[in-house]
Structure 1
Amino acid sequence: MKLRFRPYTLELKHAFTIATSSRTTTPAMLVEVERDGVIGYGEAAMPPYLGESQDSASAFFRRVDLTRIEDPFNLEEIIPAIDALAPGNTAAKAAVDIALHDWVGRKIGAPLYRLWGLNAAKAPVTSFTIGIDTDEIVRQKTREAAIYKIIKVKLGRDNDQAMIEAIRQETDKPITVDANQGWKTRDEALRRIEWLAARGVVFIEQPMPKEQIDDTAWLRERSPLPLIADESVQRLDDVLRARGVFDGINIKLMKCTGLREAHKMIVLARALGLKVMLGCMTETSCAISAAAQLSPLVDWADLDGAVLIGNDCFDGATIVDGRITLPDRPGIGVIPR
């Protein structure tokens, strides 16, 4: 099996601002694995705050030797071995994981969701994400999200109320909030959540810094809205620690090393009674379509990453009337443009 990779820069349609950073592009790596004339596609999307880069991903890929693989279907051994090559590098690892899964599906001739026994018709609606911005841009983005049934808004700075009020000037659709660790004290967080609960908000994602576990548990006991972990839960080992602190978890392929671990995280979260959300970075339809294969298993999805960029180089999963629509194609279902 051969591994190929190349850098690609995702160009955002609007500046994307969260509580801790802002950007107009996202560095990415596009990956291919090939054997027996079959090509599987993968992607690493690496917003700078994750600590990965095109250079670090390239260095990691050079350590991955797929030529020794005897049985490419043996992913339960192959992917942990790749994970063990170096610490971190979760997006780079996800790119290889996605490409290997895509190859398996293409070789068999079936979509991954079918191999997992899932019903594509049960894929949930996806939210549309609005970053921190001026009232005018927030209202513009809200209008652009007309087909979506739910709006996700980034908060965590000093204009939280203005952001919500700008959205409410345009729509009464349900809103989910991602504070990206922006609220620093539990009393502040509780006041903000109580205000948001009266304005059609469904849940709060990562309200406080991930280190403030006791404060978050205190907040959960008093919050009128569910709390969903994002930065606090990145990999499988983190899921158990979320019980009693959060009501659910947000799983992102770029943080958890890909589809294999994401599936295991969903199974464990369900066993612990936690709600599950599938999230994304700004990504092409390659990584979005990969995550979408698991979407029939989750409560909520935030898989709008490809519609936030202007240079998507794949055709794959689409959003129809606000709902994730999986293509009836093998593997992750993508076609390079």
Structure 2
Amino acid sequence: MEIDVLIETWPLIRPFRITGHVYEDIEVVVVMLRDGEHVGRGEAAGVDYLGETPRQIFEQVAALRETFARGIDRTALQSILPPGGARNALDCALWDIESSQKGFPAWHRAGVETPLPRITTWTIGAEAPDAVHERAQSYADALALKLKLTGDGLDAERIRALRSARPDVWLGVDGNQGFSRASLEALMPVLVEQRVALFEQPLPMTCDQDLDTLYSPIPLAADESVQDLSSIERLSPAYSIINIKLDKCGGLTEALAMVEATRARGMGVMVGNMLGTSLAMAPAFIVGQFCDVVDLDGPVLLRNDRAPGAVFDKGTIFCPDGLWGGTQMARQPLDHHN
């Protein structure tokens, strides 16, 4: 197979603030595999908090051109590259081209009987409380909202502002490692009062031991603290859910193995994203068929998306076969509209 790889920039509708960073656009790496007749595509943004950059991902992929020219499958790829963006893009491209070659959609080979639309969270950045209120009202179709928190002293007001705008919605919050145990405990009464259903990654991943003896009436989800399959066993017992992201674990192949391993431990499963276009959401949507919480709203935050793209309707996401992972008959060419 031949490899084509490029870096694309996609502007956001508005600046997006999380702990320690404000995004105005995103860069993604797109990989295309060709065998002469069939094409497979994959997209990765990488894991920025681990130091990954699109340029590094590009170079990792480009370095494997000769390896792919000799022939490689998804099993071999797992031992050639570590978890991360490069393996994610290549793994998803291999799933995609296999669907075309074998005439079976990716969801079928992943063990999904029939893919169904899934409720997805729509994410609101850590803005001023009045802006949070306005944004929550503007997401009128959303059935689930996720609010970014920073530990900066305004989080209680942000949560109350969102809840006042949408008293009916499922609400999760994401600390992105911005809290200490003390600040988390101080915010807990507000979380309970405002019916927060999930708190994602409150503490830095190096401080998980501070959660070991914590009683939390709000379920805690591990994000930065769980990267791949090998990290599940090291998690603090305070976590009851893990957030699987394909950029972290290195693709759909490992993500499906993580679902199985997490369920075996009696834990819940969430699928998320590192921002991206619908091309990145489509393989994660397959993982979402097995998950308790789905957070795949990346394209909603973009000024434009690919065409065809994921379908966001009445608070749900659905990824058609023509976007990614379909047979040759179902496939449509992807346009780049950034």
Q: TM-score, normalised to structure 1's length? A: 0.91
| Pairs within 5 Å for 1:110-121 | 110-121=104-115
SS at match of 2:234: helix
User: Shift of residue 331 of structure 1?
Assistant: 4.8
1:6 equivalent in structure 2: 6
Maintained 8 Å contact 2:310/2:323? no
How far is 1:50 from its partner?
Answer: 4.0
Task: Describe the superposition over 1:159-207 as per-residue Cα deviations: whole angstroms up to 9, x where unpaired.
Answer: 10121122123111121010111112x2321221232111021011011
Instruction: Give the Cα–Cα distance (whole angstroms) in 2 for the partners of residues 286 and 189 of structure 1.
Output: 35
Structure 2 CA distance, aligned partners of 1:38 and 1:168? 48
2:80 corresponds to 1:82: yes
Confirm or deny: 8 A CA contact 2:41 2:324 kept in the other structure: no
SS at match of 2:59: helix
Shift of 1:210: 1.0
Q: Percent identity?
A: 32
* Contact 1:118 1:296 survives alignment (8 Å): yes
Q: How does 1:229-308 map to 2 (within 5 A)?
A: 229-242=222-235, 244-308=237-301
Corresponding residue of 1:196:
191
Q: 2:179 maps to which residue?
A: 183
8 Å Cα contact 1:181/1:210 also seen in 2: yes
* Amino acid of the structure 2 residue aligned with 1:137: A
Q: For residues 105 and 239 of structure 1, what CA distance do their matches in structure 2 show?
A: 30
Go from structure 1 to structure 2 and tell me whether the alpha carbon gap of 1:198 and 1:127 turns closer, same or farther (over 3 Å shift).
same
How much has 1:98 moved relative to structure 2? 0.9
Q: Distance in 1 between matches of 2:333 and 2:296?
A: 18
- How far apart, in 2, do the equivalents of 1:239 and 1:335 lie? 37
- State the distance in 2 between where 1:32 and 1:181 align: 34
The residue number in structure 1 matching 2:69 is 67
Aligned partner of 2:104: which letter? A
Alpha-carbon deviation of 1:105? 1.2
Native 8 Å contact 1:175 1:200 kept in 2? yes
Determine if contact 1:154/1:179 at 8 Å carries over to the other structure: yes
Offset at 1:117? Answer: 2.2
What secondary structure does 2:156 align onto? helix
Please say if residues 271 and 293 of structure 2, whose CA atoms lie closer than 8 Å, have aligned partners that are also in contact: yes
Matched, 1:218 2:213: yes
Q: 1:159-178 to 2 correspondence within 5 Å? A: 159-172=154-167, 173-178=169-174
| Divergent runs of 4+, >3 A | 46-50, 119-123, 328-331
Post-superposition CA distance 1:199-246 (Å, at most 9, x none): 021011011111112211222xx1011110001001111111226231
Matched, 1:158 2:153: yes
SS across alignment from 1:11: strand
Counterpart CA distance in 2 for 1:293 and 1:82 is 24
| One-letter amino acid of the counterpart of residue 189, structure 1 | L
Three-state SS of the structure 2 residue aligned to 1:211 is: helix
1:105–1:331 Cα contact (<8 Å) kept: no
> Match of 1:178, as an amino acid?
D
Q: Among 130, 143, 161, which residue is 2:137 paired with?
A: 143
- Which deviates more, 225-234 or 50-59? 50-59
Judge conservation of contact 1:109–1:330 (CA < 8 Å) in 2.
Answer: no
- Contact 2:323-2:334 within 8 A present in 1 as well: no
Question: Residue 11 and residue 330 in structure 1: after superposition, are their counterparts in 2 closer, same or farther (change >3 A)?
Answer: closer
Amino acid at match of 2:177: Q
- Match of 1:189, SS state, is helix
Q: Any gaps of 5 or more consecutive residues in structure 2?
A: 327-331
Change in CA separation of 1:58 and 1:117 when aligned onto 2, cut-off 3 Å: closer
Deviation at 1:322, TM superposition (A): 1.2
Structure 1: unaligned runs, 5 residues or longer: none
> What letter matches 2:107 in structure 1?
Y
Stretch deviating more after TM superposition (267-276 or 303-312): 303-312
Q: How far apart, CA to CA, are the structure 2 residues paired with 1:330 and 1:160?
A: 38
Q: CA deviation at 1:123?
A: 4.7
1:310 match: 303
TM-score using structure 2 length: 0.91
User: Which residue of structure 1 lines up, in the alignment, with residue 329 of structure 2?
Assistant: none
User: How far is the alpha carbon of 1:26 from its aligned partner?
Assistant: 1.3
Q: CA deviation at 1:143?
A: 2.2
Which secondary structure state, in structure 1, belongs to the residue aligned with residue 247 of structure 2? helix
Tell me how many residue pairs correspond in the alignment. 326
CA RMSD of aligned residues (A): 1.9
